[in-house]
Amino acid sequence: MTTGNTSEFPILSERELEILELVATGLTNHDIADKLEISKRTVDNHISNILSKTKTDNRVELVRWALQWGKICLDEVNCCTLPSVSKD
């Protein structure tokens, strides 16, 4: 998997981020299409574009990329919260 640097950080559309989250939950392209009420071919195209933008080769690499860059949160894992600042 190519991680690149932050200057090459891909910009994903809102729809691509939505689909990425659904991929990370383990849904198939058909299930994603049903859930979003779009065609499977549209989902296929979005996933192809996402894989290209993120320079990943498959869904597993894509989810690893998304976790690494904080694009998804799975079951409260990889959910960034700001530390509380105490004023002592």
In this predicted structure, the answer to whether residue 57 has a pLDDT above a threshold of 90 is yes
> Residue 1: exposed, middle, or buried by beta-carbon count in 10 A (0-12, 13-18, 19+)?
middle
pTM of the model: 0.75
Evaluate whether 50 touches 20 at the Cβ level (below 8 Å). Answer: yes
If one counts every other C-beta atom within 10 angstroms of the C-beta of residue 72, the result is 20
Please report which confidence band the pLDDT of residue 87 belongs to, taking 50, 70 and 90 as the band edges.
low
The residues spanned by each domain of the chain are: 14-68
Q: List pLDDT tens digits, range 28-38.
A: 999 999 999 99
| Topology annotation, domain 14-68 | Arc Repressor Mutant, subunit A (1.10.10)
